[in-house]
Copies of this chain bind each other. A is one copy, B any other.
Amino acid sequence: MIANRGMKIRRDVFQAIADPTRRAIIMLLTAGALTPNGIAEHFESSRQAVSKHLQILSECEIVQQVQQGREIFYHLNAEKVKEVEKWLEQFKQLLAKRFDQLDQVLEQLKPNNK
């Protein structure tokens, strides 16, 4: 493989939920849109720290900003989380396939199949 030192910016749902604070923010926003200060009040994080996370969540398109006067409300885009669901489904399907094969082997090992 051609050398690819360092990382590439990855802005997807998986990156979004990799951080526990971001997961908590996502959970919080299921109850309704909030401002950065409103979110920060719920955690032991500074407003700036929360803002940084919100920026990443925005880039991952999990939240959307809606300006309201001097306040900015962050709304959840629940659709994006479905991508994780999709991956999980794929995973479980592959796993089931493996156990199907295992079942076949076990079937052949049955005493009455000797």
Over the window 81-114 of chain A, the binary record of Cβ atoms lying under 8 Å from chain B Cβ atoms (1 yes, 0 no) is 1001101101100110110000000000000000
Cβ contacts under 8 Å, A97 to chain B: 30-31
The residue from B14, B78, B90 contacting A27, defined by CB atoms under 8 A apart: B90
Q: How far is the CA of A54 from the CA of B94 in the complex (A)?
A: 20
Count identical subunits in the complex.
2
Is A9 an interface residue, CB under 8 A from the partner? no
User: How many residues in A have their beta carbons less than 8 Å from beta carbons of B?
Assistant: 31
Of residues 25 to 49 in A, which have CB atoms within 8 Å of B's CB atoms? 26-27, 30-32, 43-46, 49
B95 & A30 in contact (Cβ 8 Å cutoff): yes
The 0/1 profile, CB within 8 Å of B marked 1, for residues 39-81 of chain A is 0000111100100000000000000000000000000001001
